[in-house]
Structure 1
Amino acid sequence: MANTFLDAVKARRTFYGLSKEVVVKEDRVKEIINTAVKHSPSAFNSQSARVVVLFGKESDKVWDITKEELRKIVPAENFAATEERIDSFAAGYGTVLFFEDQTVVENLQEQFSLYAENFPIWSNQSSGMLQFVVWTALQEEGLGASLQHYNPLIDEQVQATWNLPKEWKLIGQMPFGKPTAQPGDKEFSPLEDRVKFF
């Protein structure tokens, strides 16, 4: 019996070579994101995920912000490599920004004080599941993507640029676009060291 879900899980990879050529229309990307946000699981059905999808010039802005923030902390003699890396993300035609709404997390901490310290952990786990669903679904449509973490370095600028609520905590950035290069071979640690069956 075929399992297309596991096939998609196996096929998902990190793509650093991207182009702005549109191979999937914006409406389809919106449909994927909406479906992923609606159906990805969250602790206590909290639905704390918040997502911003940037296309074209709006996507370029987030990488311009990232580059300028990094310029402040990376030594000038090392900046060329950093700039090349950021430019590779900007080469895509869109970026997904993943957030978790801290108001939701804090409300759950108040309502269920016994589990208060776990809600931030569960929030991050929920975000990770959503990121994986989006990443895999984009790849199934023929888009390459990678997952980046320039937060909290860019948080304030991102919130100000797109007028986002301060309660939205930035978790990750996912540039996507038409793949221009295939990822290299992936090595796997032995499963017998990582999985136990009883």
Structure 2
Amino acid sequence: MEKTFFESIVNRRTYYGIGKESTISDERIMEVVKQAVKHTPSAFNSQSARVVVLLNEEHNKLWDLTTSILKSIVPEDQFESTAQRMSGFRSGYGTVLFFEDQTVVESLQAQLPTYQDRFPIWSQQSSGMLQYVIWTALENEGLGASLQHYNPLIDERVKADWKLPETWQLVAQMPFGKPTAPAGEKQFQPLEDRIKLFK
């Protein structure tokens, strides 16, 4: 049964327990990502988002290099929990990498200097919307995901290893896969403290 819009919003959660299986085909994964990138709004219709999807060994490679980088900076006596976290992400089916193309942002800054200081902020807001759309869409397909931020630690290696343009700024990483454990319980603050109505 197809979920309503708000059912999808409610059901989207952070899943750390994910496995190396997918509930949908690789083609369907790419269809979901393409539709999200195409239709997620951006300031001045700038379309500055760039996305890389890593599956199979390419996905493993990302979390292996992230583990290696973190091992060089995390104290040895604290690394065990970090290694477990990395192993959890690596155990997934794939990862979506979110970037913002700084060429687009800088071009808008030059064209519209009045808003120069706002374009980087709007770029990040647009990226956040895209992350949420893809996250919710993957959940709607039966996949679990989480949102991670190991940038800027891994930025240069990611661009070098996957031969990506230097102007692509890494924003977030989203490992995903078939859920192997339920999402944790979520606490909610009273809506009365968070919303005001004036009429």
Q: Please state which band the TM-score falls in when normalised by the shorter chain.
A: over 0.9
Partners of 1:24 and 1:16 in 2: how far apart? 19
For 1:66-113, what per-residue CA distance to the aligned partner results, in whole angstroms no more than 9, with x for missing partners? 101101110111111100001100000100000000000000000000
Secondary structure in structure 2 of the residue aligned to 1:99:
strand
Question: In the alignment, which residue of structure 1 is the partner of 2:40?
Answer: 40
Which AA in structure 2 matches 1:49? Answer: A
Question: In the alignment, which residue of structure 1 is the partner of 2:171?
Answer: 171
Partners of 1:44 and 1:76 in 2: how far apart? 47
Question: In the alignment, which residue of structure 2 is the partner of 1:105?
Answer: 105
Question: In the alignment, which residue of structure 2 is the partner of 1:24?
Answer: 24
Question: In the alignment, which residue of structure 2 is the partner of 1:162?
Answer: 162
Partners of 2:184 and 2:70 in 1: how far apart? 27
Question: In the alignment, which residue of structure 2 is the partner of 1:13?
Answer: 13
Question: In the alignment, which residue of structure 2 is the partner of 1:87?
Answer: 87
Do the aligned residues in 1 keep the contact of 2:22 with 2:143 (CA within 8 Å)?
A: no
TM-score, normalising length: structure 2: 0.97
Partners of 1:91 and 1:101 in 2: how far apart? 29
In the TM superposition, residue 170 of structure 1 has moved relative to its aligned partner by 0.1
Partners of 1:5 and 1:86 in 2: how far apart? 32
Partners of 2:173 and 2:49 in 1: how far apart? 14
Partners of 2:128 and 2:111 in 1: how far apart? 24
Aligned pairs for 1:105-184 (under 5 A) are 105-184=105-184
Partners of 1:65 and 1:103 in 2: how far apart? 27
Partners of 1:21 and 1:115 in 2: how far apart? 45
Counting matched residue pairs gives 196
Partners of 1:94 and 1:127 in 2: how far apart? 19
In the TM superposition, residue 23 of structure 1 has moved relative to its aligned partner by 1.9
TM-score, normalising length: structure 1: 0.98
Partners of 1:85 and 1:92 in 2: how far apart? 12
Secondary structure in structure 1 of the residue aligned to 2:195:
coil
In the TM superposition, residue 4 of structure 1 has moved relative to its aligned partner by 1.0
In the TM superposition, residue 22 of structure 1 has moved relative to its aligned partner by 2.8
Could you list the runs of 4 or more consecutive aligned residues of structure 1 that deviate by over 3 angstroms after TM superposition? none
RMSD: 0.8
Q: Is 1:190 aligned to residue 181 of structure 2?
A: no
Partners of 1:8 and 1:183 in 2: how far apart? 15
Partners of 1:72 and 1:190 in 2: how far apart? 42
Which AA in structure 1 matches 2:44? Answer: F
In the TM superposition, residue 28 of structure 1 has moved relative to its aligned partner by 0.2
Which AA in structure 1 matches 2:127? Answer: S
Task: For structure 2, list consecutive stretches of 5 or more residues without a partner in the other structure.
Answer: none
